[in-house]
Structure 1
Amino acid sequence: MPSERTDVQVRAGAEGDLEALTDLYNHYVRETPITFDTAIFTAEERRPWLLSHPVDGPYRLMVAVAADSQEILGYATSSPYRAKPAYGTSVETTVYVAPRAGRRGIGTLLYQALFDALAGQDLHRAYAGIAQPNTASTRLHERFGFRHVGTYREVGRKFGRYWDVAWYEKEL
């Protein structure tokens, strides 16, 4: 069931969103250390990612769109935490909000819809890695009950410098 405000709708991601989702992600690849990807993607290169998030099950893609224009304002995902079978009840979650859509509560709407969609799934924990510093993401995760469990120091190198990643977990 879609989550709605007067100007924003949150729904499951669909094939028709691929180009806009790729463009949004590529902004973060080019401009920020929030993702440790360093080369932009084509939509076709991102298609397997999109297809790995079906409309049901533990691996979801929720998309926030402007109610009037259907412009993509952001997305949230749950993905496998690690490939080994014993990690099967854990997911890694993430949120990306379009730069022009920040500070409007889009991340909150996306995470609420994502965790509502995950309710009842055979999941035990959600994990989130947050490149530091990122106060807005830290606040969002803490608002949803994530707690800091550790920090990997200088674990990624991008833009000619090393970045820390703080790890958070949440019981599901």
Structure 2
Amino acid sequence: MFRVRDATPDDASACAAIYAPYVAGTTVSFEEEPPGPEEMAHRIAASQAEHAWLVAEDADGVLGYAYAGTFRSRAAYRHTCEVSVYVDADRRGRGVGRALYTALLDRMTGLGMRLAVGGATMPNEASERLHRALGFEVVGTFRDVGFKQDRWCDVRWFQKRLV
């Protein structure tokens, strides 16, 4: 059993550890150097200032996290947020990502967001399944938009109306 709660600065190390394998060993993230705990604490604080950063935890610790941020800086986009979720590789497939995203989307709705968007590097069947299961629709694919691990990568974009 796990619970979802707001992240605190004390969660920065666990979030950094969950994220590092995605950065170092996959094209899921386009970052090329995993951020450390100090940078992750900064990201948690920045996300919570206007949106939210949530973690799922059980008795053994943090299982994953989800956050929302600004989609674009122009004022007209202020009711749209970009969302992401990362789950520890050993804990995937147990409903953690779904629980995190559901709680995050509920929070964003409560904050007055009208639309949530998320991007996923392709191929990524797990992310695609999660987005579709939660009511996101595919709105397009940017072809060859990122270069990582010696190859060009596509990013598929999803959106979900919140209100």
- Normalised to the residue count of structure 2, the TM-score between the two structures is 0.95
Between 99-108 and 116-125, report the one with greater CA deviation: 116-125
Report runs of 4+ in structure 1 exceeding 4 Å deviation.
none
AA in 2 matched with 1:61: W
Between 121-130 and 152-161, report the one with greater CA deviation: 121-130
Q: Deviations over 1:20-69 (max 9, x none)?
A: 11111111100111110001222122232111122xx7511110111x22
Distance in 2, matches of 1:81 and 1:113, equals 19
| 1:4 equivalent in structure 2 | none
AA in 1 matched with 2:56: A
Task: Map 1:1-172 onto structure 2 (within 5 A).
Answer: 7-54=1-48, 59-66=51-58, 68-69=59-60, 71-172=61-162
The alignment yields a C-alpha RMSD, in angstroms, of: 1.2
SS at match of 1:110: helix
AA in 2 matched with 1:135: E
Between 155-164 and 57-66, report the one with greater CA deviation: 57-66
| Count of residue correspondences | 162
Higher helix share: 2
SS at match of 2:110: coil
Distance in 2, matches of 1:9 and 1:64, equals 5
5+ long unaligned stretches in structure 1? 1-6
- Normalised to the residue count of structure 1, the TM-score between the two structures is 0.90
Q: Percent identity?
A: 35
